[in-house]
Structure 1
Amino acid sequence: MLFDVDALSAERLVGIYRVLGEVDGPAHYARRLAQALHTTGYIFGHHGAEMALTLDRLTEAIALCRALDPTEHRDRDAVLRGMLHTHQWALYRYDRRAEALAVRREIVTLARAGGIGHRWSLAEALLEVGVALVEDGHDDEAEPLFAEAVAVTAGLSRGYLPRADRHWYVTAHASALTTRGRYAEAADAYRPLLESTHEDRQVPILLYGAHLLAAANRPAGGRAVFERAVEEYRRRAAHSPTRGLRHDHLAHHLAAIGAADEPADIAYATTPDHWSPTRLSRHADAEPALRAALDAPTTTHAERIVLERRLNVRATFAPMSREAAARRLLPAYTRALEQTRALADPAGANPLRVRALTDRALLLASVGRARDGIADLEEAADLYG
């Protein structure tokens, strides 16, 4: 049967490696048994299996992995980190948050022990602990972890994975400071991103930088950065009109700008990959309540605009083709913009209209119609500040 191992299910392999371990000695098959147990635990957790079944498989896999000889299995700690990551996800999935946070902290400890070569892994682990602390209302403890994630990635070149880009960590740190009302510190923490280039992300990064500077009561600096965003958008529209961000990545930037509109128990300037399953479900399950609030007779016009934007950003997180985005998202963002034009009070309307204009311009760029978004950004620049 093992000659055709690729055709066997992970569950069948668990049984086979247990039997072979009894025959030849457990040490000979410990790693392969651990990997099969890990795979079945991952599958059980993602398909809603009974909690004990999932967690028993994962804890046994982790115990076997810990017992491996690191001189014989040089990648033991990397394999262990992967198993622990699945374990923490499952613990959150079953709402055992304290245990899950402890596992995330252990992943940080393992990443620290890996030395300088594991700095991206350490930053990722720090960010996940910080996000978990935000979800549990411990912002004071989370903020220094966000700062450390920025510090450990200083000077590193961009990794081959998009999530290894340093801008994730800088944005999370700045947003954490903003959430606590420390606007000037947030603008200063974000400044390194304004002084470097970020390819397709340059325009949304500049727009968020302008947002932070305005919040820090630095209107001249905010306007200057906003104008840079407009110029960068024009340049990209002229040279690469069909190149734009993936929609889920665009949604990350839009969510960061609108974080103040959302509940405080999610770090909205991070990606959903870092949120716990329970908070991710809560974010998705909020849609009926948002739609109910839209229909409530007491909801004001301005409040409806904010509610619709929150729904639009949620829809933008979904992976889809450019054609689907143009068909499904663009009408919604256009309707949101038109609703801001109906607001009479400029003091209250202008910030909402600026945001709606920049939202649609970025979406147009993401579907390959950047040239159509130039007018939106230019109008936003006229209204900005």
Structure 2
Amino acid sequence: MLENGVRADKFSFSLVLKACGRMGLVKEGLQVHGLLRKMETGSHLYLQNSLIGWYQNCGFIEFSRQVFDRIPKRDSVSYNSMIDGYVKRGLIDMARELFNCMPEQEKNLISWNSMISGYAQSENGLKSALELFRTMPERDLVSWNTIIDGCVKHGKLEDARSLFNTMPKGTRDVVACNAMIGGYVQNGNCTEALEIFEHMLKSDITPDSATMLIVLSAVAQSGRLENGVAMHCYLEENGFPLVGKLGVALIDMYAKCGNIENAKMVFENIEERNVDHWNAMIGGLAIHGLGELAFDLLMEMERHSVETDDITFIGLLTACGHAGLVKEGIMCFELMRRVHKVEPKMQHYGCMVDVLGRAGLIEEARRFIDGMPIEPNDVVWRTLLSACKKYEKLNIERQ
């Protein structure tokens, strides 16, 4: 444009600055800023706000503040951009200071929601978030969802549920419901999580993939197979694809609910399986003590050229422990390191101690711990202590 003598306007510069911000082009953005300083249109508020956004996207919050401070008459976009920049960098006190200085006529829902979000995400800011929420002149769906999610993340489920129940009629959406369901599942309240899901269906709120993942987790934790079968039917009736995380969650749910046959059926019906599907199936076989079948699945993975990962071998070693397959467990551990080039993590060492301990090989388990290249954690020691108690080996000492 410039080389051909076409005069750039404020929209041209704004778009170029957005491009520089998204691509992290600092040098080019500075050149655009320098060009704007030489032009009459450069002082236009629209372009000054664009510069604030560009500096923030490139990580220069202090330079964006310099641009902000030089603007003679700021608008709500200027203030909201700066507040949002401070909030995203965890500088909540600076955001609040600017929010307090902001003219009342410029404060809008974006301003209030940014502050509530910032406080809700900060470690000790929930009280301030609730105070702002209660005093804001008007609220939208973002306001409600932000404060509910904040309460859930801070473990204040009663406050979250109270807010959820007082949402204006017809305003609840899938985001609010997912926050409540997820909060209940994380705190082991699976019954309440499933009640929220039933409320969604009765209220004609359409669940999304995130909803179904959380609900399947709730069913797996509670072991309610009948609910799991109902969830499976819902997934099929509503066309949810099982090629990704939902398929993994469904396999895991059936296995944890004690129906390994249904887990196998789901696994075999997924045409495009990735390593997570294989791992879920191996893990399901492991908790049912079907170690040999788990090894068969490993062989099948190799035939299908599916690359294993560290989760694969955690499942296999767990299967060996539950099935009493000591030799196979030792072989699996060596296979992981030497053939598949997977570096053992603490979980793998813990699984090996469990394999040896469950078989009563207490001395071997102790020597295995002593030979670990990393410092064993409390889980490893508890695993050994549990085996000692089971086999009444009460005089074991570390070398």
TM range (shorter): 0.3 to 0.5
Structure scoring higher RCO (CA < 8 A, sep ≥ 6) equals 1
Larger relative helix fraction: 1
Give me the TM-score of the superposition, normalised by structure 2.
Answer: 0.42
Give me the TM-score of the superposition, normalised by structure 1.
Answer: 0.44
Q: Which has the larger radius of gyration?
A: 2
